[in-house]
Amino acid sequence: MSARCLPALTPPLALAACAPPIQTPDPLPPREIVTPQQWAQQCTDWDEWDKPAPPYRIHGSTYYVGTCGIATILVAGDGGHILIDSGTEAGADVVLDNVGKLGFRPNEIASLLHSHEHFDHTGGHALVKRASGAHVVASPQAAPVLRTGEDDPADPQHGLHDAMESVPVDVIVRDGETVRSETATLTAIATPGHTPGALSWAWQSCDEAGNCLSIVYADSLSPISRDGYRFGDHPEYLEGFRAGLEKLRAVDCDILLTPHPSASDMVTRAAAGSMVGGMSCVDYADAVEARLDRRLAEEAGD
């Protein structure tokens, strides 16, 4: 059936009289969810970035839909899903396939968020945007990187990565602002350091029994750089780095997730059958700051 517009005297009336065509949603895929233990059986510590992995429920409406080596997190909602990170360009195909395996429609991803703006975590954004029409949400510092595909000159790793496919950014989110669905409110935490525009995310996820847990997806935050870069030569950047770590220490954190699963022992916890416990946000922040302090000591000794 084709939709037809009624004749009208002025363009505004013409637009009002023309209803959009009726669309039939894609059928829901069959549900193929696995247990965390089954995921851990197929993945190892520091696994390959694009190695396919099955999706599993973390808690409530929060699911792991990434590859073995790169995390991608889905927060499902009846009116649209939230996806954090897309993985590499090749890994994004795995992510979309995993969303379908959970019994959700990939084209109902409404918001696409990021941890940090490197190709291994946002290289698949353009593909996910085309597949879903999701609003791309970015920090002010990460937005130019996503829009151009080029690293920020202020990035400690600037010049080390190939360009990503560019993607339009629809929404800018700043520290403390939120992205919401019916099932969760995700709060952005500015945690620059690994990159200038890095974000961590915190939310509560509740299961069918009403058991709610605080989940934090904490950015990588490792003080890695190109040759010749010295964190000590950038005091303002270093101040922001440490401030982000303080924010992580202060947030409620029943379940810690990270863009590289092994950075927070996710494989070990999944193998034990529960993502609750293990490394805390305080433990994670302390470990990162210890690495940063060692790096600064090495720079001072050069």
Q: In what order do the strands lie in the sheet with 62-64?
A: 56-59, 62-64, 73-75, 81-84, 109-113, 135-138, 171-172
Q: For residue 167, which of 151, 194, 188, 144 has the smallest C-alpha distance? A: 144
Residue type, 246: E
Per-residue pLDDT for 11 more than 70? no
pLDDT for 15: 33
- Two tokens at 115? 């941890």
pLDDT for 275: 93
Question: Any idea which residues carry the catalytic annotation?
Answer: 116, 118, 120-121, 194, 229, 260
Segment 185-207, tens digit of pLDDT: 999 999 999 999 999 999 999 99
- Two tokens at 163? 């360009």
Q: Where are the beta strands (DSSP E) in 96-226?
A: 109-113, 135-138, 171-172, 178-180, 185-190, 199-206, 212-217
Average pLDDT, the chain: 91
Per-residue pLDDT for 4 more than 90? no
What gap in Å lies between CA 116 and CA 49, rounded to an integer?
Answer: 15
pLDDT for 138: 98
Segment 12-70, tens digit of pLDDT: 333 333 344 455 667 777 788 789 999 999 999 999 999 999 999 999 999 999 999 99
pLDDT for 115: 98
Segment 237-256, tens digit of pLDDT: 999 999 999 999 999 999 99
User: Which residues have CB under 8 Å from 135's CB, separation 6+?
Assistant: 110, 111, 112, 170, 171
pLDDT for 302: 77
Give the phi and the psi of residue 216 in degrees, each rounded to 5: -125, 125
pLDDT for 49: 97
Of 15-19, 157-161, 230-234, 256-260, give the lowest mean pLDDT range: 15-19
Confidence of residue 179 (pLDDT cuts 50, 70, 90): very high
pLDDT for 28: 74
